[in-house]
Amino acid sequence: MLGVENRPNRIFGLDLLRVIAIFFVVHGHGAFLLQHSMFAPISHIPFSYEVDIFFILTGYLIGGAFIAQSERNALTLGKSTLQFYAKTALRILPCYYVMLLINYMAVRFHVIPGDTGITPLWRFITMTQNVFTPFYDFFWESWCLPVQWWFYILFPPLLALLTRTLQTRKAVPILSVCFILFALAYRLTVAKYAQNDFWWGVWIRKTVASRCDNIFIGVLAAWVKHYHADKWERHSIACFIIGMVMMVLVCILPRHTGTLYGNVLALTIPPIAIALWMPLFSKIRSCESAFGNIITDVSVLSYSMYLTNLFVCQLIATHFCESFLRMGIGGYLLYWLIVLVGSFLLHVAVEKPFLRIRSNLTRRLAR
């Protein structure tokens, strides 16, 4: 519809989840533009778990693919795994590096606020800016990408290693529980640094070690679907209702730093709730309508939208804040338009060409 890449095997329900997630990301960053308008109340929507949806989708899709592959034949670090690494790198890194360069130059030339000296640039290049220690004041939006990147790097070899002695059916939950417990233990260890919401955010909410459990909860959802498909189908509505109740409670209950719930459990419960949505959303295979096409196109653009929206917000807040605020809802809608156009340009100029390279590489490696 918009000239973005669509694949015929996409699952509409999962695309819909991505669109919900990216809506809350973009809205959350630009909601301040509504503060002087009649729509000010919706600028305070109490939902901050949009990135958790992306994490669950990553674990569910990648975990499901490797579980199926491991069950078909022994999982090794051979051609198929190398192909996976190549496809992942060509999918994630080009847009990431382009936006890293744009943000770096914008900060250095004082176009947007920030400090490129707190965390060395090489750590952003190697996706190590927040593995065990936090970063801040530059390229804020990059925090979740290392969480996914290191899952992509570590999950295949660790699963291959475990399945040498264990059946895949046992290896996957063992591996997942180990990472979930590791994340909980890490949060307990660094909780002393979370003295206020800012430090809670950078130490507990935005480090790889603290958030790896989210993706492995998605892997466990894929495991349930693969080995208990009948229950997955039969209880999809009940699971969705339970998941929604859990999410509403999490959004309503206050989270206080310094408490066991606030420092340790508050970031594990929402992904469990989202994972409970997956049986229902994964059943929605398609939506043949204009609405369905728009959802699919926005889903395809969601990665580029994630990388561009905060940069647009910083530009507006630094140089055009009063003008946008005076426009009220018009300023907010203009912000959305700029994000959509910017992400479309990033997709067409960077993401799409590398996706073509990835497709050609995949065909060559498959020979």
Classify residue 41 by its DSSP letter. Answer: G
Tokens found for residue 26: 């973009």
Q: Is 326 exposed, middle or buried (0-12, 13-18, 19+ CB in 10 A)?
A: exposed
pLDDT of the residue at 345: 98
Burial readout 70-95 (b: 16 or more C-beta within 10 A, e: otherwise): beeeebeeeeebebbeebbebbbbbb
Measured between alpha carbons, how far is residue 318 from residues 113, 158, 261 in Å?
Answer: 8, 45, 36
Total number of residues shown for the chain: 367
As averages over each run of 10 residues, the pLDDT of the chain (367 residues) reads: 57 97 96 88 81 98 94 76 90 97 98 96 98 97 98 95 94 98 98 94 97 98 97 97 96 90 95 98 94 96 98 98 94 97 98 89 70
Residues 52 and 302: their CA atoms lie apart, in Å, by 14
Give me the phi and psi of 45, to 5 degrees please.
-60, 120
Judge if pTM exceeds 0.85. Answer: yes
Question: Cβ-count burial of 149 within 10 angstroms (0-12 exposed, 13-18 middle, 19+ buried)?
Answer: buried
Cβ-Cβ contacts under 8 Å for 335 (sequence gap 6 or more): 30, 33, 312, 313, 316, 324
